[in-house]
Amino acid sequence: MRRCLGYRVSKVLPALGVGLVLVAVSLSSFGQNARTSPVSARHLQQVNELFRASGIRNGRVILDPKGRIELQGSYEDEREVDRAFSLTQTVVGVRWVSPVTPQNIKVKEWEECLSRMLTGERCGPGESPAGVSAPPPRAGEPPREIPPADVRHKYALVAGVGKFRNGIQPLQYANKDAYDFYNYLVDPAAGNFRRENVILLRDEYATKETVKRALDAIKQRAGEDDLVLLYFSSHGTPPDKFGGVHLVTYDSEVRPREKIWNSSLTEGDLRSFIQEVKAKRLVVIMDACYSNGAYSQVAGFLPPGGKSLDTAFDEGYGRSRRDMAQRLLGAKDLVLEEEAPAAPRTAARPAGWGKVLISASDAGERSWESDTLRNSIFTRYFIEGLRQNGGAVREAFDYTRARVPAQVKREKGADLTQTPQLTPNRREWNISVAAPER
């Protein structure tokens, strides 16, 4: 089944108020064959017993065709679904839980929301009534492309979270990553952003609410001819029941475990910004460390023994490049690297435009920090690449991707890898973040 963001309506019964069938799809990076699955009948029994002990009376689990645990039954509301999904992850880990939404969620808001969606209305600004990820609107025919004029103004949000209020394992260099990236942007000889147009949020100042307020402030100010850059350095969450992986903020909550999703910066928050901001030049950079190790100090967060079934303690999880772009860009036809070779390099400053997403690692990989470099490995090389290439994002990414895997193998082990990912929404996208304002 094709992977997408969340669900689709497969059948509507005539009477209003009769349930709608919701079908979710799985993360392809976690697809497995049932014959090789370590999930046993005892695991299913353990999950069902946890459901009863937690007050989930009508939910249950089965083994899906790929050998993963799948939620079945009926649930009172979205909070109960989140609780059930989270409890299941604590028994077998992320890899062996299928992100499938149960078909019988008894939530009136869902019926009303999806009924409006069927008639062409939008149900909230990119979010479902319960605050979980909702699918992007169906893309129609692409509008005629009208390029922006020369850069008028440049705006940026730079956020780095290295310490967390609620017991999540600290990141040693995320705070410094953000500060170094900020210094590059406001350096007159480098990014040449005006200081008053760059919002820097670090550690306790990078709460979910402050990050959302910063995004709203930029969205209100940025026009079509402007350039907007977002940079995040933090942990990621485990995938939620829709397969969404969110960015952890300083105040993300981990007790009960399912709160990690709605208390973090959701992909719905980012998607709303990306799709609604008027600027025709947008660069989003996510240096997020997706790993079980982030939650090793939180009692009950990880499966028994601190690992998923047959998987190492510090397994990485995340999104593939295509999945990340489909979820956040909402583009009908994404431009992937293998489909669109880079444009020939020229001495002139890049004049491209569009929206581009950059992530520090691929699905199933960690984003590593380096005591040698005293930065995230990705961020250190990306800043170097920007400085050495006049702010050209394409060239900076090529510089980074050529160096990160080798540095990870040197420092962390020959069997480990980290592969930065990039996806634009158009071919002639190469943007210079150092472009002068007119």
| 159/157 Cα distance (integer angstroms) | 6
181: confidence class by pLDDT, cuts 50, 70, 90: very high
CATH code of the region 7-118:
3.30.1340.30
Say if 7-118 and 154-424 have the same CATH topology.
Answer: no
The residue length of the chain stands at 438
Averaged pLDDT for residues 277-300: 91
- Comparing CA positions, the residue from 151, 258, 265, 254 lying closest to residue 201 is 265
pLDDT in tens, 351-360: 899 999 999 9
Looking at residue 67, its pLDDT comes to 93
Higher pLDDT, 253 or 128: 253
Whole-number Å distance between alpha carbons of 55 and 75: 11
pLDDT in tens, 70-93: 999 888 888 899 999 999 999 998
Give pLDDT, residue 247. 95
Res. 350: pLDDT tops 90: no
* Phi, psi (degrees; rounded to nearest 5) at 115: -60, -40
- Residues 130 and 113: beta-carbon distance below 8 Å: no
Which two tokens mark 153?
């103004």
Q: Are 369 and 396 in contact (CB under 8 A)?
A: no
Cis peptide before 436 (omega within 30 of 0): no
Bridge partner residues of 75 (DSSP): 105
Domain spans in the chain, listed from the N-terminal domain onward: 7-118, 154-424
> DSSP string spanning 185-237?
HH-TTTT---GGGEEEEEGGG--HHHHHHHHHHHHHH--TT-EEEEEEEEEBP
Q: Return the higher-pLDDT residue of 132 and 158.
A: 158
Residue 424, H or E segment: strand 421-424
Q: Which residues pair with 73 in a beta bridge?
A: 59
The whole-number pLDDT of residue 31 equals 43
Asked if the 154-424 domain carries CATH number 3.40.50.11540, the reply is: no
Q: Max Cα separation, the chain?
A: 66
Q: Mean pLDDT, to the nearest integer, of 321-333?
A: 67
- Cβ count within 10 A of residue 197: 18
Give the predicted TM-score (pTM) of the model: 0.82
Helices (H), 302-392: 321-328, 377-388
Give the position of tokens 């079509």.
Answer: 224
Q: Is the pLDDT of residue 339 over 60?
A: no
pLDDT for residue 313:
64
Burial 343-381, CB ≥16 within 10 A → b, else e = eeeeeeebebbbbbbbbbbbbbbbbbbbeeeebbbbbbb
pLDDT of residue 290: 83
Please check the confidence at residue 384 and state whether its pLDDT lies above 60: yes
